Amino acid sequence: MTKKPKEFSGGCLCGHIRFQATGKPTFPHLCSCRMCQTWSGAPTVAWVEFPLKNFSWTGPGGEPAKFKSSEKTQRGFCPNCGGSICAIDEGYDKISLTITTFDEPSVLVPGKQFSYRKSAPKWFIADINRSS
């Protein structure tokens, strides 16, 4: 008996852009580089990767709008509500997705990697070291 692969789905605030991914999520991590901050409006972005071959856009809007944020990276967002959805690196066989746009963001847990931690606002760093 073969096990059905786990499915992950998500989308933007307005539902125009939706996606579905199957298979093993990789490299769940946080990033607080200034690009992630100004792109998302948040103190950090939680990212996770999925193989492009296991990934599809399923919403009425199809693919998100894209902004070229660096030489090889495009950042995808909803042209309707502005939701920050993904990053696609040229020539890379995976897509990076923002964990908080998944329908069940609690399932995808960032690992120890916290990129550009020093760029995060000081009040945010102080805050995440404190339990609620």
Chain residues binding Zn ion by CB under 5 A are 12, 14, 16, 31, 33, 36, 78, 80-81, 83
Both ends of the chain: CA-CA distance in Å? 43
Query: Which CB, 16 or 66, lies closer to Zn ion?
Result: 16
Minimum CB separation from Zn ion for residue 15, in Å? 6
Query: Which CB, 12 or 97, lies closer to Zn ion?
Result: 12
Minimum CB separation from Zn ion for residue 83, in Å? 5
Give Cα 57 distance to the centre of its chain: 14
Query: Which CB, 23 or 65, lies closer to Zn ion?
Result: 65
Sheet architecture: strand order including 73-77: 65-70, 73-77, 84-89, 94-98, 45-51, 26-31, 114-115
Per DSSP, the three-state class of 53 is helix
Minimum CB separation from Zn ion for residue 132, in Å? 25
